[in-house]
């Protein structure tokens, strides 16, 4: 059919680091002014007054940060989405969850670029008019994200597909945002100390670069789709390399609905979905040594046949057998409360600086924070788990202050991020399970602990027999 353009808000991007950095700079300058003003006005005031004014300053800075990030496409919005998952202890407790929700909503609040611009981008990448490649193309996007928009279309051979297209100029804009993020690191430290480390910034930078690499994403998604073919509860739509490029990613269409945590669903359904998410995102790390590093409910679709569709493989990571061995050693030491084994493993794998001899008992306590919710042999809910996990990385956490000398490999940081993001989803679902018994399947080669586990094992056995 002839594609009919529809009117959209103008989505012209500024790609200059200076112009994109200006908005962030204004936030930073405003934060300095607020901080100085608060300090001056608080001189000689009672302690409760000083605390109240400091909290109000942090709230104002956080509000301004959300507004700035929400007005920008690309890296800034993606950073906001990632920050929605982290510790907000600089804010008063009553404000933390609403602020996190506002940051999280950035993925749904990105302005749409008018279709005329997006069509030009697609036709340039495809080397043909849309009407030549597609028999049907809906100009209304089915989704808008920080990097681009997604459309539904039908190929000439009758296959329904999803077409993900980058915003024009987004590569330069995101890379400008990455540089500005590093330049304004001190601002994040003032508002969110947990994310001030170089390791966290490196993870954000890598995640953003991966989001831009559509050709790599197509390769990864094709491999995962083959890996999960005919899986009993997880479905991954395949990518179509012949239609994909650096700016356009075409995949099979995945029918399904978004899961609304506030929706009317019984506890058994919530628990089942929670277990599926846990098995796919966390279990995939240890079963496959490769995994999607960006778990959130926006990438999950509930399908009519009871399976769950997983989409978006831009943030994707790989781990070596040695890195997996370390993770399993940490988990087993936490389960067995074996301090010496954990200390020996970290030393053997070079994860402890040579000049540091940590207390083995502290190492086990640290492991309990990292894996505690997965090491208790009982049905549990994950409420409050995020705070425990983030104590590991928070430079203000006195009990783990020495762990800034722990040499976190990038893969380990990524796997812990998957743990954190997955627990955030499970908390939103209010899902419960014996997470230890499920984890033991891949951490200790234990027998399946649930009906889903038995189904997955039968599927895996049948594939090995082919």
Q: CA-based angle 287:195:199, to the nearest 5? A: 55
- Collapsing DSSP to helix, strand or coil, 249 comes out as strand
Report which secondary-structure segment, H or E, holds 317: strand 316-318
What is the structure's pLDDT at 222? 96
More confident residue, 18 or 369: 369
Q: Taking residues 87-93, report their average pLDDT.
A: 56
In angstroms, the Cα distances linking 310 to 24, 35, 239, 257 are 33, 44, 13, 12
Tens digits of residue pLDDT in 193-228: 555 556 666 766 777 777 788 999 999 999 999 999
Residues 6+ apart with CB under 8 A from 290: 284, 316, 317, 318, 319
Name the one residue in this structure whose structure tokens are 């996190």. 100
Q: CA-based angle 418:399:93, to the nearest 5? A: 65
pLDDT value at 460 more than 70: yes
What is the structure's pLDDT at 397? 47
Compute the distance between CA of residue 12 and CA of residue 15 in angstroms, rounded to an integer: 9
Pairing, β 308-310 against β 234-235: parallel
Domain boundaries, the chain: 17-108+174-209, 114-166+213-254, 317-464
**Which superfamily does CATH assign the domain made up of 114-166+213-254 to?**
Phosphorylase Kinase; domain 1 (3.30.200.20)
Query: Per residue, what are the HEC states of 150-197?
Result: EEEEEECCCCEEEEEEECCCHHHHHHHHHHHHHHCHHHHHHHCHHHCC
Instruction: Using pLDDT thresholds of 50, 70 and 90, give the confidence band for residue 4.
Output: very low
Tens digits of residue pLDDT in 261-300: 666 788 899 999 999 999 999 999 999 999 988 888 888 9
Cβ atoms within 10 A of the Cβ of 357, count? 10
pLDDT value at 436 more than 80: yes
Q: Which stretch, 66-70, 101-105, 334-338, has highest mean pLDDT?
A: 334-338
What is the structure's pLDDT at 424? 82
More confident residue, 304 or 100: 304
What is the structure's pLDDT at 31? 46
Average predicted confidence (pLDDT) for the chain: 76
């Amino acid at each position: 059919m002839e594609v009919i353009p529809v009117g959209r808000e103008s989505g012209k991007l500024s790609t200059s680091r200076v112009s994109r950095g200006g908005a962030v700079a204004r936030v930073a300058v405003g934060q300095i002014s607020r901080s100085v003003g608060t300090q001056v006005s608080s001189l000689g005031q009672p302690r409760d007054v000083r605390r109240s004014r400091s909290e109000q300053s942090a709230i104002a800075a956080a509000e301004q940060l959300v507004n700035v990030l929400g007005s920008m496409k690309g890296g800034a919005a993606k950073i906001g989405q990632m920050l929605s998952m982290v510790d907000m202890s600089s804010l008063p407790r009553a404000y933390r969850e609403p602020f996190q929700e506002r940051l999280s909503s950035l993925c749904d609040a990105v302005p749409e670029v008018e279709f005329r611009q997006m069509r030009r981008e697609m036709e340039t990448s495809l080397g043909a008019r849309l009407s030549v490649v597609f028999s049907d193309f809906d100009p209304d996007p089915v989704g808008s994200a920080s990097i681009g928009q997604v459309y539904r279309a039908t190929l000439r051979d009758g296959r329904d597909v999803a077409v993900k297209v980058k915003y024009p100029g987004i590569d330069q804009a995101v890379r400008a945002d990455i540089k500005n993020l590093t330049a304004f690191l001190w601002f994040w430290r003032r508002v969110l100390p947990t994310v001030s480390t170089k390791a966290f910034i490196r993870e954000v930078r890598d995640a953003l670069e991966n989001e831009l690499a559509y050709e790599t994403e197509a390769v990864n998604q094709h491999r995962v789709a083959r890996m999960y073919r005919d899986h009993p509860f997880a479905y991954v739509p395949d990518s179509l390399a012949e239609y994909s490029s650096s700016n356009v990613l075409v995949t099979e269409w995945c029918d399904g609905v978004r899961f609304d945590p506030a929706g009317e669903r019984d506890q058994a359904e919530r628990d089942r979905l929670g277990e599926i998410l846990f098995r796919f995102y966390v279990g995939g790390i240890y079963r496959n040594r490769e995994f999607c590093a960006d778990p959130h409910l926006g990438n999950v679709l509930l399908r009519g046949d009871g399976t769950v569709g997983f989409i978006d493989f831009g943030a994707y990571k790989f781990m070596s057998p040695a890195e997996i061995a370390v993770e399993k050693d940490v988990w087993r030491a936490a389960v067995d409360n074996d301090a010496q084994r954990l200390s020996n493993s970290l030393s053997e794998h070079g994860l402890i600086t040579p000049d540091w001899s940590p207390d083995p008992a502290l190492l086990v306590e640290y492991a309990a924070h990292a894996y505690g919710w997965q090491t208790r042999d009982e049905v549990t809910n994950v409420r409050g788990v995020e705070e425990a996990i983030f104590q590991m990385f928070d430079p203000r956490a006195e009990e783990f202050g020495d762990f800034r000398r722990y040499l976190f490999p990038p893969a380990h940081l990524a796997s812990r991020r998957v743990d954190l993001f997955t627990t955030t989803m499970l908390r939103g679902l209010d899902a419960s399970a014996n997470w230890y018994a499920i984890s033991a399947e891949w951490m200790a080669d234990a027998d399946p602990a649930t009906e889903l586990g038995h189904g997955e094992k039968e599927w895996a056995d049948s594939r090995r027999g082919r």
